Amino acid sequence: MKKSILITGGAGFIGSHVVRLFVNKFPDYRIINLDCLTYAGNLENLKDLEDKDNYVFSKVDINEEKLLEKVFNDYQITDVIHLAAESHVDRSISDPLAFVKTNVMGTVNLLNTARNFWKDLNNHLFYHVSTDEVYGSLDNGGYFTETTPYDPQSPYSASKASSDHFVRAYANTYGMKTVISNCSNNYGPNQFPEKLIPLCIHNIKERKPLPVYGKGENVRDWLYVEDHARAIDEVFHKGLPGQTYNIGGFNEWKNIAIVELLCQIMDRKLGRAEGESAKLITFVKDRAGHDLRYAIDAQKINKELGWEPSLTFEVGIEKTVDWYLENESWLKGVTSGDYLHYYEAHYS
Ligand code: NAD
Ligand code: DAU
């Protein structure tokens, strides 16, 4: 094997697309998907890879030091792509400590394990996958660049900012080879239906209310998840050590406009009368400390690594709706059990 890459959080939304891309594109790499399978982790996302010779799954929490050490030893890990995290802003508002434990302490634990295991730090890469939310909110226009000062506003973004700082500190203090990318909002198959787009697709299908926070005027920049996975491939192979790369879709939308678009698409696909699903739109109490606007300037990765999104939003969103409609059993599986408790506690 040319490389033995540990991908953490590979059973989650973005991680599953990264694992699939690497397993299929690089048969001479061994890919170890390490994930403790929280509510957001789902091995159904990777069923097609189960028989691949270069794919291994390991159910481990990134806070379990001894088990992590064993994985590094057993598979002689050469590089890390770290995606495991608590990822939902609303959950971070109700339970910030869970975010500190996984996103901050888990990341430091992983950094320590890698540092102790790798004898020559120059030969190995620790790639940390992060978010544009670390930069705060763009209330007065402009774009986030790689030099925008950090200004996290939610417990989630504070925990991700902290983990980014630890990764940079390990590069500076111990000479670890690291790279960080900060991406905007992803959408596409396998996303847990607590996030805006899959939640609305699910609720439109079930004729349930579509909860729009505040007036729906907050703006997000959306990127199709497979395009993010392609960007991670580029950064992993061509990114310069110590650098940060912003990844975005050049695709800003107000939340209300996205929800209305989903209603139109779903009316057409489900054979409903025009305007029927839009009646489900319900304006609810705003998210506490809700960031107004995120927008990524992704020129650096475009110019230096040649990456750009391959799909327009119009194509990506149709593909996404089709995937959820075609994968009814996936959606049923993840919305049974605990999902209902979370949903009712959050929205009632
Ligand atoms: P997700 O919530 O869908 O998946 C997270 C995965 O991490 C799950 O499989 C979960 O089981 C696993 N995990 C959580 N805690 C763990 C622990 N302690 N030990 C081992 N595994 C654990 O998240 P996502 O949306 O796929 O995000 C992946 C990464 O990308 C995160 O680091 C997130 O901050 C970042 N990110 C996400 C977005 C987005 O729009 N979703 C955008 C930019 C960056
Ligand atoms: O920007 C990158 C980030 O995008 C990632 O780092 C996070 O992991 C990811 O969860 C996402 O965060 P957001 O908070 O932007 O995503 P979410 O889908 O939760 O919300 C998108 C927007 O829609 C946001 O302005 C809040 C709003 N919203 C969300 C939900 C769940 C609603 O209006 N109603 C809802 O029910």
Q: For atom 34 of ligand 2, which residue has the closest CA?
A: 212
Write down the domain spans for the chain.
3-187+223-247
Mean predicted confidence (pLDDT) in 166-193: 98
Q: State the distance from the centre of ligand 2 to the C-alpha of 174, rounded, in angstroms.
A: 35
141's tokens: 């226009």
Ligand 2 neighbour 72 (Cβ under 6 A): no
What is d(CA 239, CA 181) in angstroms, rounded to the nearest whole number?
10
Judged by DSSP in three states, 226 sits in helix
Percentage of the chain exceeding pLDDT 70: 100
Q: Does the pLDDT of residue 345 top 90, yes or no?
A: no
| CATH node for 3-187+223-247 | 3.40.50.720
Measured from the Cα of 130, ligand 2's closest atom is 6
Mean predicted confidence (pLDDT) in 317-337: 95
Q: Does the pLDDT of residue 340 top 90, yes or no?
A: no
238's tokens: 């061509």
Measured from the Cα of 290, ligand 2's closest atom is 25
Q: Per residue, what are the HEC states of 11-24?
A: CCHHHHHHHHHHHH
Ligand 2 neighbour 130 (Cβ under 6 A): no
Q: For atom 15 of ligand 1, which residue has the closest CA?
A: 85
Active site (annotated) includes residue 133: yes
Averaged confidence pLDDT in the chain: 97
The edge-to-edge listing of strands for the beta sheet with 125-131 is 55-58, 29-34, 3-8, 79-82, 125-131, 178-183, 244-247
Q: Does the pLDDT of residue 173 top 80, yes or no?
A: yes
Measured from the Cα of 347, ligand 2's closest atom is 36
User: For residue 204, what pLDDT is reported?
Assistant: 98
Q: State the distance from the centre of ligand 2 to the C-alpha of 224, rounded, in angstroms.
A: 15
Ligand 2 neighbour 88 (Cβ under 6 A): yes
From the list 77, 68, 94, the residue with the least C-alpha distance to 6 is: 77
What is d(CA 315, CA 282) in angstroms, rounded to the nearest whole number?
26
Measured from the Cα of 106, ligand 1's closest atom is 18
Judged by DSSP in three states, 339 sits in helix
The phi, psi pair for 19, rounded to 5°, reads -60, -50
Active site (annotated) includes residue 132: yes
Written as one letter, the residue type at 184 is S
Protein residues with CB under 6 Å of any ligand 1 atom: 8-9, 11-15, 35-38, 40-41, 61-63, 83-87, 102, 106, 129, 131, 160, 183, 185-186, 192
User: For residue 1, what pLDDT is reported?
Assistant: 77
Q: Does the pLDDT of residue 52 top 80, yes or no?
A: yes
β-strand partners of 247: 183
User: For residue 202, what pLDDT is reported?
Assistant: 97
Q: State the distance from the centre of ligand 1 to the C-alpha of 279, rounded, in angstroms.
A: 33
Q: Does the pLDDT of residue 106 top 90, yes or no?
A: yes
What is d(CA 228, CA 186) in angstroms, rounded to the nearest whole number?
8
β-strand partners of 6: 32, 80
Q: pLDDT tens digit string along 10-35? A: 999 999 999 999 999 999 999 999 99
CA 135 → CA 77, 97, 118, 216, distances in Å? 32, 21, 31, 21
User: For residue 208, what pLDDT is reported?
Assistant: 96
Query: Per the residue annotation, which of 75, 156, 170, 187 is the catalytic one?
Result: 156
Q: Checking DSSP bridges between strand 178-183 and strand 210-213, what pairing results, if any?
A: unpaired
Q: Quickly state the pLDDT bin for 347 (edges 50, 70, 90).
A: confident
Ligand 2 neighbour 221 (Cβ under 6 A): no
Q: State the distance from the centre of ligand 2 to the C-alpha of 271, rounded, in angstroms.
A: 28
